Amino acid sequence: MGNVIVVPAGLPRTGADPDAVDAFFSTRGDLVGIGSLLTPAAWALATLFGAGAVRALWRSERARTEAWSLLGFAGITLQNAAFAGVIAIRLALASTAADGTEASAGLWALHDALFTLNGTFLALALVGLSIGGRHAGIIRPWHHVLGLASATLLFTSATLTPLVIDHNGPLGLLGLAGWLLWVVWVVAYGIVLVRLERDRDARSREAARQAHGDAR
């Protein structure tokens, strides 16, 4: 969620020149701090989303002796941890930007590596919950394909991390495209889980009314 604030403000791209990094964090440090305020809530919501997905899928997965939902939940948990490191580095850059480009260069290189490698964990979440959701019949084929396409782009970007960092070019767009597909995928999956919960509540109320009527 913090990216919604810092990216439009001009957050340097992966592999950016240290001078550009230093200039951004020395002049936009306040926005970095504001963006970081949103991330704990985002991590909590992501964890709740993963737990909700496991709840929705686990019963049918046990019957099939599968555990795709657990793979997805593990991916979400790991990406939360990795992105905590990304946010911590950004805050460190904002507080040390005045110390010169040498400090910024080292921190930004670590930021780029961790940010790009984080695609591995997003890919795990996408694969696990897309396959699990499709096997359980709660998501549509297009949603399943969207998740696997996003996972492919993100995992490819993570695999090519050294090239993505060292070469400004189209390789950096792999992760961006994968992340945009991830946003669409997770919003659509969230809607599915809300509808499932609503239907479950409606069935519970109907069963309670029938039981009350039979008792009378």
115-172 pLDDT tens trace: 999 999 999 999 999 999 999 999 999 999 999 999 999 999 999 999 988 877 788 8
Q: In 65-118, which residue ranges form alpha helices assigned H by DSSP?
A: 68-96, 101-117
39-58 pLDDT tens trace: 999 999 999 999 999 999 99
Query: Cβ-count burial of 81 within 10 angstroms (0-12 exposed, 13-18 middle, 19+ buried)?
Result: exposed
What pTM did the predictor assign? 0.88
